[in-house]
């Protein structure tokens, strides 16, 4: 059945070949369409009934045929047009502006809630995007820098969230101590989990992390006494600013932000405050990662990704390097989880399933592993795109899956795949006295 | 004469039913180049792997006389622990960190020295003065070795993009940046052209003269071995069959029979590489 | 009485576990073959199984509507149709989403597979509806092996059918891999794809056929699950796929007998743990055992240990 199909990227494929290829694609599409588009099983009172909409079958065939034909014809001219983009390098002067990129971006992001078009919806969306950026920044340490595939990152997210939920509701801690506890608990959990399994390599490690992710979710779901099971935990403490709340009325013995500042109460204030907190956390995390990459520990992470055997031959203990990567990544996951819990005021196990892990991983890989800018772009893409497609609510996840496949085929290394060196000899100060060894 | 830096006694390595190394004794001294030669599959790389902690020997004693830490039995250490005693190696099939730059490769090599100076990364995160000084010193060490190996011009290139001969030099520079006691080189001349091989010979002779360290060398290029070695051990079928100065080895009948006697052995070695 | 009852309960869990394990094992083979040949976790394989189950439901419903009453005839038709269409899906998925990424960095095909999984789930949800489909029991009856008072140990016809068909498929499959040109080509590609291509093996076709075969087996598992539980929805592929992949790793990924063994073990662990300890934590048990096995034997039960080359 596997008819020999010539490569679609062949330099000068005759039109007849392209046509033949498109016909085959169309026929396959028609075959695939029969059981799903052509026939539809419907639940009726008397049981299942199959409804036939066979008109969809040739329609699917035609769409695929035309799509394939047009893509095949356009591929070569498009590749030609895009060629200069691939080799484009920023001019030498731009190099010096690089360090300013991060701070400028943070300033711009901080200004967002005060812009005229910013409404509740925009601020909320920005907050969600920042949570994902923070999560992906953490996972990027494990996957992008240290090269350890982690399919259960949502577990760390969950542990941060539940630590926050439980410390604020059961122990009546405030948000800020709970935030610290959430990050630390996650980190500690990562150390405990990773120690026994670090001997495993590559995909085996990945599947074990997947197992841990699921175990965490199932335990949270079933440990009713502690976590409330599927009902979750509600009444989680809201963040405060120097113990000022953002409520309309002050709690007993406390004050509200509007009382003290004299600014009239507005419900948006809390949203803006939340947005600024997560922005600060994310900026801090991104800065920390950028610094860590230049430190021995960060270099060891990347070296481990490149060649574990060479690392050992230089006296680097791979276990410590891996544990530190997991722990640092988990710390950020935990902080994000804690913030998430406080923002919602409520957590339940369904927020931490495998799809959550997969989404965070997709951000890291789509962005280009190891790239902080890539993480930001990909997180915006993954959070904002489905929102834009709200009108097509039913189709947005379909489009999301399709987009993931297409981006990978288009740019297998991720959107920003280049690695920036952490140091340049040309920038380092030469030693004043040349005492050649 | 002082006691040797490294004393290997009765090193034996068995893989299932295969006896790869059978009771080999050898020594390496400071300020000396010691060569380990033998036909393909003789067990040279296996000896190296035992010595540098990649394999746990079945039997035998690997004694390193460390100038400050005293005698250390290398076979009791974990893999990465051996390198921390100052026994550092290169690999037959070069193992750089290919997408990191040459300079970064050399800085990774100084991990052991830099790590405490970054104080659990805190001093580094805050960019404190002590850390900055340590980092500058590390860059200086790296710069010295890059200059020495004529790699300054490519310091900011990705290591994986360099030519084969350059990658070999980067690997040696990386090993030397760790400030080793014993440098173990696994076929450093493989794939080099005659000019590069001559430069390598000069470099090794220079390191021997200036750094007070021992060099242990596996090599198939007999010209190079005879030229620069102070002492040679010959292994065949996992056992040591001869030891002595280059002149002695050249005239040893068993060696000639096992190895040099076959005129094609040298060429075959270049074409095939050693078995693991 | 107490003792015999305990033995009876044990045997009942065993039978249930074997049935479940057979289904997991068949899906696991698809994971293991694909991993063996292109070192990739085909994350969308669970959806393939779900597609197989949906085609089975549609075909059964059509046959019932057409008045086909012979159960064996219906089974043969359903198996044939489900395998054919599902295999076509398997082939297309590889062709569209994975082949362009053959030389890409390791994680790219994996993300593409996650995308494919999301795409297929939503495709089926949109075309067939989000509500679960329940089929009237197609195969009924069974034999009572033993009974004592209220308790009876039974083996249903469906269970017999599932176990026997799995054994037959495994036997046939082992023959295909060990004796046929396709099996040889497949093993050659596993060892060294470049060398295999140099020796004239059509690597692309071998990989395509691997996906086709894996999808066919997943379709059989889909048919089985439709018969066994009678209820399916668009979401069943996810959990089954995850467990089947766990099974493949447990058995030693790349090993066919390993996949079957892993599947059986996961099925048995699930059945016994739900029966004796807690059904809420049955998946925790399965994953914990996987982790334990991997810590002790990093390459799985029947996998070849990979020797570190220095």
B142 contact residues in A (CB cutoff 8 A): 425
Assess whether B77 and B102 both reside in one domain: no
Q: What is the pLDDT along chain C (310 residues), one digit of tens a residue?
A: 577 778 888 888 999 999 999 999 999 999 999 988 888 889 899 999 999 999 999 999 999 888 888 888 999 999 999 999 999 999 999 999 999 998 888 888 888 998 999 899 999 999 998 888 888 888 778 888 777 777 778 888 899 999 999 999 999 988 888 888 888 888 888 888 888 888 888 899 999 999 999 999 999 999 999 999 989 999 899 889 888 988 998 898 888 899 999 999 999 999 999 989 888 888 888 888 888 888 888 788 887 766 566 6
- B208: in domain: no
Is residue A88 predicted with pLDDT exceeding 70?
A: no
Q: How many CB pairs under 8 A join A and B?
A: 132
For residue B83, the distance in angstroms to the closest alpha carbon of chain A comes to 5
CATH label of the domain that carries residue B61: 3.40.50.300
- A4: in domain: no
Assess whether A59 and A142 both reside in one domain: no
For residue C145, the distance in angstroms to the closest alpha carbon of chain A comes to 33
C83 contacts: CB under 8 Å, gap ≥ 6: C52, C216, C219, C220
Assess whether B120 and B189 both reside in one domain: no
- B22: in domain: no
Confidence tier at A94 by pLDDT (50, 70, 90) = low
Residue A186, domain extent:
99-410
- B27: in domain: no
Assess whether A166 and A246 both reside in one domain: yes
**Mean pLDDT of all residues belonging to chain A:** 85
The total number of structural domains that make up chain B? 2
Residue B65, domain extent:
1-17+33-45+53-86+181-193+216-276
pLDDT for position C308: 61
Whether chain B has a CB inside 8 Å of the CB on C198: the answer is no
pLDDT tens per residue, range B169-208:
999 999 999 999 999 999 999 888 999 999 999 999 999 9
Assess whether A105 and A137 both reside in one domain: yes
C185 closest CA partner among C10, C20, C15, C36: C36
CB contact under 8 A, C108 and A413: yes
- A10: in domain: no
Q: Which H or E element spans position C127?
A: helix C107-128
Last residue of a domain, one of B120, B149, B178: B178
Query: Which of A45-49, A402-406, B99-103 is predicted most confidently?
Result: B99-103
- A177: in domain: yes
pLDDT for position B275: 42
- A202: in domain: yes
pLDDT for position C24: 95
Contact A134, A335 (CB under 8 A): yes
**Domain C2-296's class?**
mainly alpha
Q: Residues of C numbered 269-308 whose beta carbons fall under 8 angstroms of chain B's beta carbons: which are they?
A: 308
Assess whether A241 and A107 both reside in one domain: yes
Assess whether B174 and B186 both reside in one domain: no
Whether chain B has a CB inside 8 Å of the CB on A344: the answer is no
Assess whether B124 and B1 both reside in one domain: no
Q: Residues of B numbered 189-228 whose beta carbons fall under 8 angstroms of chain A's beta carbons: which are they?
A: 210
Contact A414, A375 (CB under 8 A): no
Of A103-117, B48-62, C88-102, the range with the lowest mean pLDDT is: A103-117
Q: What is the DSSP letter of C98?
A: I
The total number of structural domains that make up chain A? 2
Average pLDDT in the A377-388 region?
85
- B224: in domain: yes
Of B79, B100, B118, the CB nearest to A296: B118
C308 contact residues in B (CB cutoff 8 A): 54
Query: Which of A324-328, B66-70, C8-12 is predicted most confidently?
Result: A324-328
Assess whether A103 and A74 both reside in one domain: no
Confidence tier at B261 by pLDDT (50, 70, 90) = low
Side-chain half-sphere CA neighbours of C139 within 13 A: 22
Last residue of a domain, one of B126, B151, B178: B178
Assess whether A240 and A162 both reside in one domain: yes
**Mean pLDDT of all residues belonging to chain B:** 88
Q: Kindly report the number of other CB atoms within 10 A of residue B65's CB atom.
A: 17
Rounded Cα–Cα distance for residues A98 and A105 (Å): 11
pLDDT for position C272: 93
pLDDT tens per residue, range A51-78:
888 889 999 999 999 998 888 888 777 7
| Interface pTM, i.e. ipTM | 0.89
pLDDT for position B272: 42
Of B110 and A241, the one with more pLDDT: B110
pLDDT for position A437: 39
pLDDT for position A352: 92
B11 contacts: CB under 8 Å, gap ≥ 6: B21, B23, B24, B25, B26, B47, B50, B51, B57, B59, B60, B61, B62
- How far does chain C reach from its first CA to its final CA, in angstroms? 62
Whether chain C has a CB inside 8 Å of the CB on B276: the answer is yes
In chain C, where the domains are located: 2-296
Assess whether A216 and A351 both reside in one domain: yes
Backbone angles phi, psi at B231, to 5 degrees: -145, 145
Assess whether A58 and A23 both reside in one domain: yes
Assess whether B116 and B70 both reside in one domain: no
Rounded Cα–Cα distance for residues A219 and A215 (Å): 6
pLDDT for position B268: 47
- B25: in domain: no
Assess whether B78 and B9 both reside in one domain: yes
3-state secondary structure of B134: helix
Tokens of C153: 């140990």
Assess whether A169 and A213 both reside in one domain: yes
- A379: in domain: yes
Assess whether B259 and B187 both reside in one domain: yes
Q: Residues of B numbered 8-67 whose beta carbons fall under 8 angstroms of chain C's beta carbons: which are they?
A: 45, 49, 54
Size of chain B in residues: 276
Rounded Cα–Cα distance for residues C284 and A128 (Å): 30
Assess whether A30 and A143 both reside in one domain: no
Assess whether B9 and B66 both reside in one domain: yes
B91 contact residues in A (CB cutoff 8 A): 309-310, 313
Q: What is the DSSP letter of B31?
A: T
pLDDT for position A430: 62
A276 closest CA partner among A249, A331, A239: A239
pLDDT for position B52: 92
A300 contact residues in B (CB cutoff 8 A): 108, 111
Assess whether B263 and B185 both reside in one domain: yes
- The answer to whether the Cα torsion of B73, B74, B78, B82 is positive or negative is positive
Tokens of A396: 């947005």
A295 contact residues in B (CB cutoff 8 A): 118, 121, 124-125
- A436: in domain: no
- A84: in domain: no
Of A317 and A204, the one with more pLDDT: A317
């Amino acid at each position: 059945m596997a008819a020999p199909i010539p490569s679609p990227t062949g330099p000068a494929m005759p039109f007849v070949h392209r046509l033949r290829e498109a016909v085959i694609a169309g026929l396959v599409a028609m075959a695939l369409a029969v059981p799903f588009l052509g026939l539809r099983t419907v639940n009726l009172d008397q049981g299942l009934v199959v409804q036939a909409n066979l008109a969809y079958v040739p329609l699917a065939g035609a769409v695929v045929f035309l799509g394939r034909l047009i893509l095949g014809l356009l591929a070569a001219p498009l590749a030609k047009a895009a060629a200069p983009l691939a080799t484009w390098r920023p001019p030498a002067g731009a190099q010096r502006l690089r360090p300013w990129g991060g701070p400028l971006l943070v300033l711009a992001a901080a200004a967002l809630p005060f812009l005229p078009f910013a409404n509740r919806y925009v601020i909320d969306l920005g907050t969600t995007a920042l949570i994902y950026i923070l999560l992906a920044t953490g996972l990027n340490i494990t996957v992008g820098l240290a090269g350890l595939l982690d399919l259960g990152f949502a577990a760390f997210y969950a542990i941060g969230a539940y630590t926050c939920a439980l410390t604020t509701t059961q122990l009546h801690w405030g948000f800020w101590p709970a935030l610290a506890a959430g990050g630390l608990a996650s980190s500690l959990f990562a150390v405990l989990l990773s120690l026994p399994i670090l001997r495993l390599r590559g995909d085996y490690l990945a599947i074990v992390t997947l197992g841990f992710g699921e175990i965490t979710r199932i335990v949270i779901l079933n440990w009713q006494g502690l976590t409330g099971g599927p009902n979750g935990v509600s009444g989680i403490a809201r963040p405060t600013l120097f113990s000022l709340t953002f409520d309309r009325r002050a709690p007993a013995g406390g004050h509200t932000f509007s009382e003290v500042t004299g600014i009239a109460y507005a419900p948006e204030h809390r949203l803006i405050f939340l947005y600024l907190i997560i922005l600060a956390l994310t900026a801090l995390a991104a800065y920390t990662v950028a610094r860590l990459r230049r430190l021995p520990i960060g270099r060891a992470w990347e070296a481990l990704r490149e060649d574990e055997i060479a690392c050992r031959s230089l006296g680097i203990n791979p276990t410590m390097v891996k544990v530190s990567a997991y722990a640092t990544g988990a710390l950020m996951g935990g902080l994000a989880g804690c913030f998430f819990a406080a923002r919602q005021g409520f957590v339940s196990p369904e927020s931490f399933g495998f799809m959550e892990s997969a989404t965070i991983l997709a951000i890291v890989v789509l962005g280009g592993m190891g790239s902080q800018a890539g993480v930001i772009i990909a997180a915006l893409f993954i959070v904002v795109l489905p929102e834009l497609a709200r009108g097509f609510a039913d189709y947005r996840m379909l489009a999301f899956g399709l987009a993931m496949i297409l981006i990978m085929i288009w740019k297998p290394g991720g959107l920003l795949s280049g690695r920036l060196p952490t140091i340049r000899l040309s920038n380092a100060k030469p030693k004043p006295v040349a005492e050649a060894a | 004469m002082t006691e040797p830096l490294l004393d290997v006694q009765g090193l034996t390595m068995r893989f299932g039913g295969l006896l790869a190394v059978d009771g080999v004794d050898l020594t390496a001294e400071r300020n000396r180049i010691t060569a380990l030669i033998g036909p393909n599959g003789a067990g040279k790389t296996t000896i190296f792997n035992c010595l540098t902690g990649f394999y746990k020997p079945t039997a035998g004693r690997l004694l390193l006389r460390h100038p400050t830490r005293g005698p250390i039995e290398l076979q009791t250490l974990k893999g990465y622990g051996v390198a921390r005693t100052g026994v550092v190696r290169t690999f037959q099939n070069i193992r750089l960190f290919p997408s990191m730059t040459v300079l970064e490769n050399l800085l990774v090599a100084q991990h052991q020295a830099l790590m405490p100076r970054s104080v659990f990364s805190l001093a580094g995160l805050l960019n404190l003065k002590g850390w900055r000084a340590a980092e500058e010193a590390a860059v200086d060490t790296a710069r010295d070795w890059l200059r020495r190996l004529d790699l300054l011009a490519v310091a900011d290139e990705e290591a994986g993009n360099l030519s084969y001969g350059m990658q070999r030099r980067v690997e040696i520079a990386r090993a030397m940046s760790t400030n080793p006691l014993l440098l173990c080189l696994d076929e450093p001349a493989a794939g080099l052209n005659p000019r590069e091989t001559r430069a390598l010979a000069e470099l090794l002779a220079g390191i021997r003269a200036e750094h007070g360290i021992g060099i242990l060398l596996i090599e198939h290029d007999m010209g190079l071995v005879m030229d620069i070695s102070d002492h040679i051990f010959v292994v065949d079928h996992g056992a040591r069959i001869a030891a002595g100065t280059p002149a002695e080895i050249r005239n040893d009948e068993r060696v000639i029979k096992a190895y040099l006697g076959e005129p094609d052995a040298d060429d075959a070695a270049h074409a095939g590489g050693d078995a693991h | 009485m107490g003792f015999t009852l305990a033995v009876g309960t044990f045997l009942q869990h065993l039978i249930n576990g074997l049935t479940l394990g057979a289904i997991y094992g068949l899906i696991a083979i698809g994971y293991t073959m694909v991993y063996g040949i292109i070192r990739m976790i085909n994350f969308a394989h669970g959806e393939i199984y779900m597609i197989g189950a949906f085609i089975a439901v549609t075909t059964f419903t059509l046959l019932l509507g057409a008045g086909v009453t012979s159960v064996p005839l219906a089974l043969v038709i359903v198996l044939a149709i489900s395998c054919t269409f599902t295999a076509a899906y398997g082939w297309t998925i590889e062709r569209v989403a994975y082949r362009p990424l053959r030389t890409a960095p390791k994680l790219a095909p994996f993300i593409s597979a996650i995308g494919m999984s999301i795409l297929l789930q939503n495709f089926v949800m949109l075309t067939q509806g989000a509500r679960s489909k329940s089929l009237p029991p197609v195969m009924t009856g069974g034999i009572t092996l033993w009974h004592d008072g209220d308790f009876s140990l039974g083996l249903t016809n469906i269970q017999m059918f599932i176990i026997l068909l799995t054994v037959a498929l495994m036997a046939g499959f082992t023959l295909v891999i060990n004796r046929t040109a396709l099996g040889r080509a497949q093993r050659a590609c596993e060892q060294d794809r470049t060398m295999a291509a140099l020796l004239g093996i059509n690597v692309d076709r071998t990989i395509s056929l691997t996906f086709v075969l894996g999808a066919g087996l997943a379709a059989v598992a889909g048919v089985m699950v439709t018969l066994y539980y009678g209820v399916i929805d668009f979401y069943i592929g996810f959990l089954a796929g995850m467990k089947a992949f766990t099974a493949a790793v447990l058995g030693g990924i790349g090993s066919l007998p390993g996949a079957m063994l892993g599947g059986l073990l996961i099925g048995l662990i699930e059945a016994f743990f739900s029966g004796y300890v807690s059904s809420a934590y049955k998946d925790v048990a399965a994953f914990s055992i996987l982790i334990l096995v991997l810590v002790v034997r990093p390459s799985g039960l029947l996998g070849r240990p990979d020797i570190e080359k220095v």
